[in-house]
Structure 1
């Protein structure tokens, strides 16, 4: 062994009981010094004063230091002296007011003198015995302390190392996402298309096919958007990623331990396992905290780097939090069993008097409640309540965890400050987005109307003061300041953008820096007055009223009828990504109800000078009045585009002749048959590329996903699936 070669004859004699792995470890010098110190810690020499503190007795005892120095010479490498004597000298100076004696104190001891020194065993130490001479721990006694300290050092090393593996795993996952995003962006780049040498087209096609066949399928059968039990299951690639992460957490919680037959800290194998597993699970749980906060923020840089949407990271956020909570429970239960085994329930009650103990217990309890209150039903039915509880309890968890790790003198404080910084940075960027939309953000006025027959709210917000033009597919969080509960906000996708005469405006989404400006002429600024007249630069949102925020918005709009209701708003955005649908030869939208906003958002880009050969919108809607209103107000002249066809599926009304539908629109009765529509679209497209976009009922979206998955599995390489939905 490399380590044994450097020790000399004395250490070679002591080496048989030293584990080979420990002998090569980086912490062996520290372990060896501590083993000597611990073996002599309970030895009472005659030059110690019994009325002094233990540190004073030790630091003022010459026999103790001679025994310690000789122990280091006999059992340890020279590095052990430098490792341990410096801190020991500092301790004696600070607490006992004296420096430790020099090493020359043992320079006159020969090997014969050392051999004649009395060796003590474990049972020889204690306050009842006073030693009148220098002593050394026997090889066996020293070996027991070595095994104890070496196993603890070994396990502690892997505690931190395996905790950092959690972050390393997600760094690798994100790196894959960044690489894929870069390849996709390069293949769609005009710069690449103008290069003299272009990669083979077929190579790009097969790469896209490979990515889609691994990312699109549902995890189990055909259900992905639909609820399974109390929640939803992410797509297969996300589930595989999370499963690997779960397995990694489990494996790293149960390996990396050194169990020894005699451990002077934990005297049975059961106690060693309980202590080590409890520590490991708690440390890994805390290392997951920065990931939980990062994945749960709106302003997540990783979205821009990888091109993954908020829903993807929200899935990661929830599952990492669930795993961390299970680990926190294992940690807390393990320590509870330990203290009860040590001293019963009285001992358990005693530990509650320590701040680090009760803060850790509270953190585990709150984390468990948070996971329970974050189930799919509560998020969907009581979102405002869920959000308030979620934020409040998350703050409590973070603060109590800081108290819990306070006993480690700052060793784990970074795992508190990183999530706190992420949370604060997210709020700062939200404020920057609000001010970028309108520097006078407190005077942003919008107008709202409610059509009772179509059951839809139409909100129009001027964007003339914005540093950017709203882009297709992006969404905004809207606060209504002159309404009740003004602190609440909800995300809404831009349905349409009125851009009067603007030709140089830049489309801006998540993929463009927040404050980047352009050379366009400014729109007329009416955002600072309370006018409800249509602005020449405005964006429109179509909002279906349900409970909570949207119902209050409906009431405000209905109360002002027939006038438009003035709204003082804060606009936080944009978020999301603009998808490259214009690069496809054929585009098919399958949308339901207010999901039409996705198709409307891209309509201008898909019916312009450079556009796909065909754009087909299949829209399932209950209220004919809603469909007529959208056709008139939001689609308008686009109906005359040669590449656009619209088919409306009336799900609650049979088709009749009492309504004047545009001739370009085909009216059907009943729900959308997603498999038939997609199959027919692919047959028409033949070898051309096809984009399928679904936004609507979960059952329809899952049917569309399954159909595209079957096509990919059958070898079709030029079809891609996109699902547009905001996941709470």
Structure 2
């Protein structure tokens, strides 16, 4: 009977999937594009809870995923349960099942990143919530086991509780944000210790839990081997080492120039992990790894047919590694000092495919958020010149925090201007008034040096820019943004209330996230 029911469910599911696929083929291209555009705008980029400092945005889609996870685990834990012993065993099994994706890792997950193209923002969100659910299930299982055995805990069980407590304490937002480097180290060590203790604690007769632990351990080991092999290949071997130099651009921005040991393929929207061992005594900075989005890349062909590659990062110094980078520049003044660096990556999927499907793309940024757009715009321009992207109009609106901020970015804006041989790019710099410090004031005399780089001193009006870009030329339109939470809230509201069929996209790395490329 059970086999018949299982076959019926499987057959009905396959038939339903086939019908849904055939129905999607009947839809026109415009209908599909409009449906997914509206779905993206209202589900993915409409926020339920704006991000806190060091956390992530909770959109409608993200909130629905979290509710689905919690509800599924609650129902799975309590459905048809009879007695504490059955509940304890069910929780142990669910905890083991949830632990499988957790042991894939969070920082260097090649399986999710390279194979499934899972974004870092969504990966971290799921990692945190699945981890919370798994920890809660494990703790309740431990409490029920203590009650059944009248509080007779062994050494392994006690160690499991201690390690779980360490993971919980250091994962709290206000602690994780303040001691981020310590959090990364303790989280990795505690996770490995937890995996070993689970092997020692598990009853060898429980096949399901043993299978989950085997799969989790195997995936963790495999991705660690892949990560270590790629790291050694990129940074070791004959020839000049990978080096980094820091330049102070203004009071808030650092430019880090990295000469890579071997050229790598860096696409727009991708990021690397950077470590500079010499920043601290005894090379202790080798344990400090921060992700930074690649703002620019150059490949030079040498006379001996070899190729050298340089990548550029823009960083806003705060604490930890970024603060040490600022101190390094202050110690050496204007002299450029090259230090040995270790580069891990690149990670993340290219955003060129999503950008190239639109006729008009409006890039909006404030402050250092411009760093997330430079390489994307260049890739889009090159694709347009090669006739591999449909885009016909590109606009960049940049709200700068001071006139000095435009000095360091102007070099890269000029390069974008010169790359635009078909003249589809317009750049608008919203310059603040020097006296009032806001984007309102007297006319600012500033020569951009290019005919399609404009300055504007009027107050930021997001609705105006969206409306003008929408009317400028026929075709579908995308707005992509990167900046402070307040800046992005204005753009989200303007797009959702505009009434236009405009797609919206937020950069996954934000200036105030703990794992940010820009922090």
Deviations 1:86-144 (A, max 9, x none): xxxxxxxxxxxxxxxxxxxxxxxxxxxxxxxxxxxxxxxxxxxxxxxxxxxxxxxxxxx
Match of 1:473 in 2: 269
2:75 alignment partner, one of 229, 251, 262 = 251
- Counterpart contact for 1:297–1:426, Cα < 8 Å: no
2:131 alignment partner, one of 309, 321, 325 = 321
1:626 alignment partner, one of 405, 419, 422 = 405
1:227 aligns with 2:52: yes
1:613 aligns with 2:392: yes
Shift of 1:404: 1.7
Alpha-carbon distance in structure 2 between the residues aligned to 1:486 and 1:441: 21
Match of 1:216 in 2: 44
SS in structure 1 of the partner of residue 278 of structure 2: coil
Alpha-carbon distance in structure 1 between the residues aligned to 2:90 and 2:288: 39
SS in structure 1 of the partner of residue 58 of structure 2: coil
Where does the alignment leave 5 or more consecutive residues of structure 1 unmatched? 3-23, 26-171, 188-196, 260-272, 341-347, 503-520, 526-536
Shift of 1:710: 4.2
Alpha-carbon distance in structure 1 between the residues aligned to 2:106 and 2:229: 19
Deviations 1:437-459 (A, max 9, x none): 35528953334232263432222
Where does the alignment leave 5 or more consecutive residues of structure 2 unmatched? 4-12
Deviations 1:471-512 (A, max 9, x none): 22211111113222222111111111223479xxxxxxxxxx
Match of 2:106 in 1: 296
Higher relative contact order (CA 8 A, sep 6+): 2
Alpha-carbon distance in structure 2 between the residues aligned to 1:313 and 1:560: 39
- Counterpart contact for 2:204–2:210, Cα < 8 Å: no
1:396 aligns with 2:161: no
Deviates more, 1:371-380 or 1:615-624: 371-380
Shift of 1:324: 1.0
**Distance of aligned partners of 1:563 and 1:600 in 2 relative to their CA distance in 1, 3 Å threshold:** same
1:430 aligns with 2:227: yes
Match of 1:557 in 2: 329
SS in structure 2 of the partner of residue 459 of structure 1: strand
1:698 aligns with 2:479: no
- Counterpart contact for 1:672–1:700, Cα < 8 Å: no
Match of 1:449 in 2: 246
SS in structure 2 of the partner of residue 415 of structure 1: helix
> 1:479-628 residue pairs with structure 2 within 5 A?
479-484=275-280, 485-500=285-300, 523-525=306-308, 537-579=309-351, 580=353, 581-608=355-382, 609=385, 610=387, 612-628=391-407
Alpha-carbon distance in structure 1 between the residues aligned to 2:220 and 2:241: 26
**Distance of aligned partners of 1:217 and 1:453 in 2 relative to their CA distance in 1, 3 Å threshold:** closer
Alpha-carbon distance in structure 1 between the residues aligned to 2:228 and 2:442: 48
Q: Which protein is bigger by CA-based radius of gyration?
A: 1
Match of 1:643 in 2: 424
- Counterpart contact for 1:288–1:324, Cα < 8 Å: yes
Shift of 1:717: 4.2
> 1:186-197 residue pairs with structure 2 within 5 A?
none
Alpha-carbon distance in structure 1 between the residues aligned to 2:290 and 2:202: 36
SS in structure 2 of the partner of residue 486 of structure 1: helix
Deviates more, 1:540-549 or 1:602-611: 602-611
- Counterpart contact for 1:281–1:331, Cα < 8 Å: yes
Shift of 1:339: 3.4
Deviations 1:306-353 (A, max 9, x none): 44301101100000011111112221222233334xxxxxxx2xx23x
- Counterpart contact for 1:593–1:620, Cα < 8 Å: yes
**Distance of aligned partners of 1:295 and 1:245 in 2 relative to their CA distance in 1, 3 Å threshold:** farther
- Counterpart contact for 1:464–1:524, Cα < 8 Å: no
- Counterpart contact for 2:120–2:508, Cα < 8 Å: no
Shift of 1:217: 3.7
- Counterpart contact for 2:91–2:141, Cα < 8 Å: yes
Match of 1:240 in 2: 64
TM-score normalized by the length of structure 1? 0.59
- Counterpart contact for 1:285–1:327, Cα < 8 Å: yes
Deviations 1:352-373 (A, max 9, x none): 3x3xxx4234324432442342
- Counterpart contact for 2:275–2:288, Cα < 8 Å: yes
Match of 1:279 in 2: 89
Alpha-carbon distance in structure 2 between the residues aligned to 1:671 and 1:398: 55
TM-score normalized by the length of structure 2? 0.80
SS in structure 2 of the partner of residue 589 of structure 1: strand
> 1:29-428 residue pairs with structure 2 within 5 A?
200-209=28-37, 211-213=39-41, 215-220=43-48, 223-224=49-50, 226-227=51-52, 231-257=55-81, 259=82, 273-294=83-104, 296-340=106-150, 348=151, 351-352=152-153, 354=154, 358-406=155-203, 408=205, 412-428=209-225
SS in structure 2 of the partner of residue 545 of structure 1: coil
Shift of 1:655: 6.1
Alpha-carbon distance in structure 2 between the residues aligned to 1:670 and 1:483: 43
- Counterpart contact for 1:215–1:237, Cα < 8 Å: yes
**Distance of aligned partners of 1:596 and 1:219 in 2 relative to their CA distance in 1, 3 Å threshold:** closer
Shift of 1:385: 1.6
Alpha-carbon distance in structure 2 between the residues aligned to 1:475 and 1:299: 13
Alignment RMSD: 3.5
